[in-house]
Chain A
Amino acid sequence: MAQLNFARPDALFLFLPLAAVIIALYLLRMKRREMQVPATFLWPTHTEEVRANALFQKLKPSWLLFLQLLALAVTVGCIARPQLVQRGLTGEITVLVLDSSASMGATDVSPSRFEEAKRLAKAAIESARPGDRIAMVEAGPVPRVVFSLSSDPVRQLAELQPLTVSDAETDAGEAMRLASAIVAGTEGARIVLLSDGVFERIDDFSQGNASVVFQSVGKSGENLAIEAFGSSESQKGRLLFASVRNFGDKVATTNLTILADGKVVDSSQLQIPSQQSQSRTIAVPAGATLFETRIDAKDALAADNYSALSADPAASLQVLKIGGEDPFLDRALALDPRVTLDRADRLPLDGGSSYDIVVFDGVASEPTTSRGVLILGKAGTGSPVRITGTAARPKFNGASSSEILKGVDLDGVYFEEIEVAQPIGSAEVLARSAAGPLIIADTKPNQRVVYTAFSPLESDFPLQIGFPIFVSNLLDFLGGEAGEGPLVVPVGRAFSLPANAPSASLKVPTGGEVQLKPNGGAVTIREAKRVGTYEFRSGNAVRKVIAVLQSPRESALAPEREIALARKPVKSTDAPLRFADFWQPLILLGLLILGAEWWLYARRS
């Protein structure tokens, strides 16, 4: 049984003063209009209930008064926005946020959490009343609006049907902010999050006038996952390291298999206690180019039961950026599939030896043991230059032919200020301005250093099309150019690959092929959303790309029953209440009453 609720109950208090006005009009003497006629004796002397013989008169029962008060009550009721409290996900304006991250692929609910969330979304759309407007946001690796606010269930269901789960992490915060923006300024809207709650905490979020409903999906957190798979140098030589974690509450047993170029090189059975990890270390087989590992656990999530590693050290670059915020550089670095980027304010105590490349962005460089160093705009100790001063707004004056500047045109680039530097030692000037060198590179036996006399943020270089190419060339130079072997990328992450042919394609592991359009000699790939092996083709060049999921956050499948939005807890609800506005039938009733009042008045007239 639906309950009646008022969105603005204070408006009901309007009834009393307005009713008093109507009654006062009946009580007060109404001044009759005077009119002269030839003779009055022919006119009937009786009058209707509206008498005008005294200032105040006794209130007599009147159907007109009753109907007017009834119409007033209905009108005030409409202003108070009556609502029927019902069970259901949708309201008058609803944004459904559908989590399509890796954890939603868990099969602890049949057929999967994602399909269950889709079923809930479908039921919500189908149960929406005519006029209810619904939008949908997919909370995948890159949040997107599936369909905007509309009241077209046929189209909405058609847009919902082809959605599939990804094996990637989700940016749930961005998805929620997108949903909030859709209903910004709209009163009474609701944002319904259909998710297992397995995502990073959302601190930066404002729901505005909207209410948030969290519908948790999922039952169990039992899951085994390859937590880490990597290689490192040791005294015994290069070793492979694989770690498996039991995210469940029970002891689990599984077989861990390590393969080199598709051949099994190690297999072991692991018995892993709850919330514990067990690892396996083996020597790297000689000559292999690709290592893979998998566990045979029949757990809820298969995507994290497999991982891969390229034997080419340049195929994976650990990059440490020291300095302030530079979104242009961060984005350019992230586009390279080899890069795993960390940020810090200062150089670690080990001198950055665990990183392949250290980037000093606008901070004075320090000596480091990494094999590549990039110094942007501020030379310090260990830099291949000697600073003699600064120059303002110099003009590009020419560049030598080098791999670093291949496909990069600095002509016309605006530099606000540069350091006037002199190369020292074996350092070479690759590009210069009228005031001094712009880019200097130095190749030492165990380290390569590139120095730019300008900070990217003090130029318009990041806005040029050549900037990401320049960064990619720098990574090739500093980290050593990757071979043509398999490329291992985190699943769901966008990355770019060189593509010199006019067209390119990507064969996906689930079958089918995606056509890609190269731009500026490279193509950006966003389609690697499922774990598996992809085949990238550009002209005659073929590159194997393996997408892997190594995300402890996604592997910890236990569904959350409460999430925090901007530090405010939101509990999951199995049957959320919805408020269906009830003013439309009241308006109709009010019109009927006014019609009856008019009919009564006309009949008496």
Chain B
Amino acid sequence: MLEGLRISPRKSQPGRVRGERLTRRAGLSIEFADYRDYAEGDDLRHLDWNVLARLDSPVMRTYRDEEDLAVHLLLDDSPSMAFGEPTKLLIARHLAAALGYIALSNGDALYPVRLGRREPPLSALRGRSSFGRFASWLGRDVADDAPTSLSSSLRAFANSRARAGVAIVLSDGLDPDAAASIRALVGRGHEVWLVQILSDLDLEPDIEGDLRLTDGEGGAPTDITANSIALRKYRDNLHEHNEGLADSAKRGGGRYAIFETSRPLDRFIQDTLKREGWLS
């Protein structure tokens, strides 16, 4: 199912090495882009001799350059991702595996980043042969006694010297500053694709009574009386929060989708990622 699919960014990103992606930057690939007047010092190999013969005017052929695409796969491994049945983290890993495979199969430079954990950055992975390393990275459980919040991790990534590219964020987004962090990411030139992975517990929490809620992310506990009013308020807050995330992601030409953990992964890829043009 994944064969033949490729990451389809809305805008082209400058590459570092020649890859299989056409860029708007005129380059040396074989795919014709346009004509331009000859300028001193141009490589005569791209002079269009036919035009020169007919029109007696030196015209240079320009080609679209083929570069690799930087695909930053940001996997949220914060404590809140451990909720749900199956857990949101597991679903995120499956989706990350699929997207990573697609990226590697198309010669994109894959930069796996674990959010919420302190972990040395992994160098770029290229080519299908790197999928093994990627899979091994995905499956690794990182023990971290002091996990960082989603927003902190995103800001840290945004502030890094990461090459601009498609930043695919696989997260539940359950951080009050997540939207601001996404905007920071966009501000660094990344095209942010946010897949918000939410479980039933997030969407329709089945709780009632007088409760003391402890925060999975380590936040302060909250005393609530879980009644219909509180649940309605919660749903309103979640909707508003998600709207903010979507708005932040789309602001820089990015994409946003919610992936409910109860939904099959293949359906999500087919019905959302392919149909909405995330993958082509």
Binding site for B on A (CB under 8 A): 30, 32-45, 47-48, 50, 52-53, 604-605
Contact = CB atoms under 8 A, between A and B. Distances in A.
B237 interface: yes
B221 A40 contact: yes
Contacts of B251: none
Nearest to B80: A38
B48 interface: no
Most A-side CB within 10 Å, residue of B222, B228, B229: B222
A38 B217 contact: yes
Interface in B178-232: 199, 201-202, 205, 207-217, 219-225, 227-230
Interface of B: 80-81, 83, 172, 174-176, 199, 201-202, 205, 207-217, 219-225, 227-230, 233-234, 237-238, 241
Contacts of B207: 35
30 contacts: A30-B210, A32-B212, A34-B221, A35-B211, A35-B212, A36-B215, A36-B216, A38-B80, A38-B174, A38-B201, A38-B202, A38-B216, A38-B217, A39-B217, A40-B213, A40-B214, A40-B215, A42-B237, A42-B241, A43-B213, A43-B230, A43-B234, A44-B233, A45-B222, A45-B224, A47-B223, A47-B224, A47-B225, A48-B225, A605-B228
Contact of B210 (A32, A39, A45): A32
Nearest to B225: A48
A39 to B, nearest CB: 4
A166 to B, nearest CB: 75
Nearest to B227: A605
A195 to B, nearest CB: 67
Contacts of B234: 42-44
A53 B81 CA distance: 30
Contacts of A41: 174, 176, 215, 219
A44 B224 contact: yes
Given A39-B219, A42-B241, A605-B228, A33 B201 contact: no
Contacts of B174: 38-39, 41-42
Most B-side CB within 10 Å, residue of A38, A41, A605: A38
Nearest to B176: A41
A494 B222 CA distance: 92
Nearest to A36: B214
Contacts of A605: 208, 227-228
A37 B212 contact: no
A27 to B, nearest CB: 15
Given A38-B202, A39-B80, A42-B241, A47 B216 contact: no
A48 B211 CA distance: 11
A39 B212 contact: no
Contacts of B201: 37-38
Contacts of A30: 210
Instruction: Tell me what chain A mostly uses at the interface: helix, strand, loop, or mixed.
Output: loop
Contacts of B222: 40, 43, 45
A406 B144 CA distance: 120
Contacts of A38: 80-81, 83, 172, 174, 199, 201-202, 216-217
Given A36-B214, A37-B213, A42-B238, 9 more contacts: A34-B211, A38-B174, A38-B217, A39-B216, A41-B219, A43-B213, A43-B237, A45-B224, A605-B228
A44 B230 contact: yes
Nearest 4 Cβ contacts at the A-B interface: A38-B80, A39-B174, A605-B227, A48-B225
Contact of B215 (A39, A45, A53, A604): A39
B212 A34 contact: yes
Nearest to B82: A38
B214 A37 contact: yes
Contacts of A37: 83, 201, 205, 213-216
Given A38-B172, A43-B230, A604-B227, A33 B202 contact: no
Contacts of A39: 80, 174-175, 215-217, 219
B83 to A, nearest CB: 5
Contacts of A40: 213-215, 219-222
Nearest to A34: B212
Given A37-B205, A40-B222, A48 B227 contact: yes
A226 B212 CA distance: 98
Contact of B211 (A33, A42, A45): A33
A500 B192 CA distance: 124
A36 B213 contact: yes
Contacts of A44: 224, 229-230, 233-234, 237
Contacts of B215: 36-37, 39-41
Nearest to B150: A39
B261 to A, nearest CB: 12
B240 to A, nearest CB: 9
Contacts of B213: 35-37, 40, 43
B189 to A, nearest CB: 29
A604 B222 CA distance: 20
A549 B228 CA distance: 87
